[in-house]
């Protein structure tokens, strides 16, 4: 791609060292106009400094976009994924993965609005995020040009980044001069920590890594009991108080943090082919995951549930790999959402020292029939003798196989 082809680029900008260096590098290397986009996904950081630094680096006020996407993030991305009970490799609640398509979507929308011919991200060449961002860019805008500095420049170390920043009068926070003990990515759903002190999977993560949860050992000795109400598979209220999607997840995060819930130390398989160790904190999401499975247990038909569960690993892979805007993900989502039409009711949970336990569930559409399953004689017409024919029919192929085995051995 000829650098002269780029006239205007939209940069996913956090205001940190890396993206500030990228901003100046774009200006000096591509000699193009830069538009910055900073998304508020509930990462818990003050976004004002990002605007100030962008202005300092010569970005015009009208070219600085700072969007509060928390409600859209939870309603249109987190909740659909949680309807599917998605877990990557059986454990990871996909907190980083699910944020990338929304950031990319808004970035492309801004590029269209300002007439930009390129977009830029700060993901490294070893990670999953470069794939997630770029697949989403191309899915939404097939002809878009993509700039990935970490695959182009020679600033391959923190020392070189700092030297570049100093030579171009880019302000550097004092804590950035030292080697960061690990890197962090955060949003309203989770925080993710990896690298440096976490690179040896045999060594326990130090307590300083955990920022969104207290240690389970330090959690209260008394359990917290809550009820979450669902409508069509989505949570709508906690203890009878209706809340917006982002407000509800924020409240669950507070409850999870106070009870030491949501820690995960995981060695996972990256899409690019290597294994990596990450420490995740998903306090509210962990509670929500268990609650949703609880309401499904009484409202989903057995075969519908089993079919949905069989598709879950595939769905989770699609989200993890970055294939959110694809027909296959949308097809599975449509099946999932169809299954949720009567997933309505309340789930009561006990939160205690890192654990989430479902202790009650009820629904106006419950398939649970107390009279049908009771050990006592009930009024329901269930003849125990019917089970004999049912068993013999299911055993027919097994009996046939055994008779063939005996014949072959004779």
Considering Cα of 363, then 367, then 369, then 370, what sign does the dihedral take?
Answer: negative
Which helix or strand (DSSP H or E) is residue 8 part of? strand 8-12
Q: Which two tokens stand for residue 161?
A: 């980044």
DSSP letter, residue 304: H
Distances in Å between the alpha carbon of 102 and those of 42, 105, 307, 336? Answer: 13, 5, 28, 20
Of 60, 151, 183, 405, which residue is the catalytic one?
A: 183
Nearest to 250 by CA among 38, 39, 41, 14: 41
Q: Which two tokens stand for residue 269?
A: 């398989």
Of 51, 70, 83, 100, which residue is the catalytic one?
A: 100
Our answer to whether residue 100 is catalytic in this structure is yes
Q: Which two tokens stand for residue 100?
A: 């990338």
Cα–Cα distance measured from residue 385 to residue 391, given in angstroms and rounded to the nearest whole number = 11
Nearest to 39 by CA among 8, 9, 11, 75: 11
Our answer to whether residue 293 is catalytic in this structure is no
Our answer to whether residue 185 is catalytic in this structure is no
Cα–Cα distance measured from residue 54 to residue 33, given in angstroms and rounded to the nearest whole number = 13
DSSP letter, residue 99: G
Strands 8-12 and 33-40: parallel
Nearest to 349 by CA among 282, 293, 280: 293
Query: Nearest-5° angle of CA 56, CA 62, CA 68?
Result: 95
Of 18, 20, 192, 263, which residue is the catalytic one?
A: 18
Of 63, 129, 192, 276, which residue is the catalytic one?
A: 129
> Would you name the residues annotated as active-site residues?
18, 100, 129, 183
């Amino acid at each position: 791609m000829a650098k002269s082809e780029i006239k205007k680029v939209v940069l996913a900008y956090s205001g940190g060292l890396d993206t500030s260096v990228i901003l100046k590098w774009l200006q000096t290397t591509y000699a193009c106009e830069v538009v910055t986009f900073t998304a508020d996904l509930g990462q818990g950081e003050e976004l004002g400094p990002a605007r100030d630094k962008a202005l300092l680096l010569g970005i015009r006020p009208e070219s600085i976009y700072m969007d509060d996407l928390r409600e859209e993030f939870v309603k249109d991305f987190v909740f659909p994924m949680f309807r599917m009970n998605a877990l990557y490799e059986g454990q990871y609640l996909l907190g980083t993965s699910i944020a990338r398509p929304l950031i990319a979507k808004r970035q492309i929308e801004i590029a269209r609005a300002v007439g930009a011919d390129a977009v830029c991200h700060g993901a490294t060449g070893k990670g999953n995020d470069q794939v997630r961002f770029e697949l989403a860019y191309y899915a939404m805008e097939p002809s878009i040009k993509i700039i990935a500095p970490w695959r182009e420049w020679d600033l391959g170390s923190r020392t070189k980044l700092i030297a570049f920043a100093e030579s171009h009068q880019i302000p550097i926070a004092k804590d950035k001069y030292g080697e960061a003990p690990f890197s962090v990515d955060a949003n309203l759903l989770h925080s993710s920590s990896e690298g440096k002190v976490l690179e040896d999977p045999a060594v326990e993560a130090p307590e300083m890594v955990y920022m969104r949860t207290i240690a389970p050992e330090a959690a209260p000795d008394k359990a917290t009991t809550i009820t979450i109400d669902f409508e069509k598979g989505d949570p709508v209220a906690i203890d009878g108080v209706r809340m917006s999607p982002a407000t509800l997840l924020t409240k669950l995060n507070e409850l999870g943090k106070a009870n030491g819930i949501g820690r995960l130390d995981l060695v996972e398989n990256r899409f690019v082919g290597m294994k990596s160790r990450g420490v995740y904190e998903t306090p509210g999401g962990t509670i929500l995951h268990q609650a949703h499975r609880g309401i499904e247990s009484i409202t989903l038909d057995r075969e519908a549930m089993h079919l949905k569960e069989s598709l879950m690993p595939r769905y989770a892979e699609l989200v993890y790999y970055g294939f959110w805007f694809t027909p296959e993900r949308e097809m599975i989502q449509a099946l999932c959402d169809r299954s949720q039409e009567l997933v309505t009711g309340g789930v009561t949970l006990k939160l205690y020292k890192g654990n989430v336990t479902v202790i009650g569930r009820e629904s106006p559409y419950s398939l649970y029939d107390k009279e049908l399953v009771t050990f006592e004689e009930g009024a329901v017409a269930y003849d125990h003798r019917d089970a004999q024919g049912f068993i013999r029919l299911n055993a027919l192929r097994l009996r046939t196989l055994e008779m063939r085995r005996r014949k072959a051995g004779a």
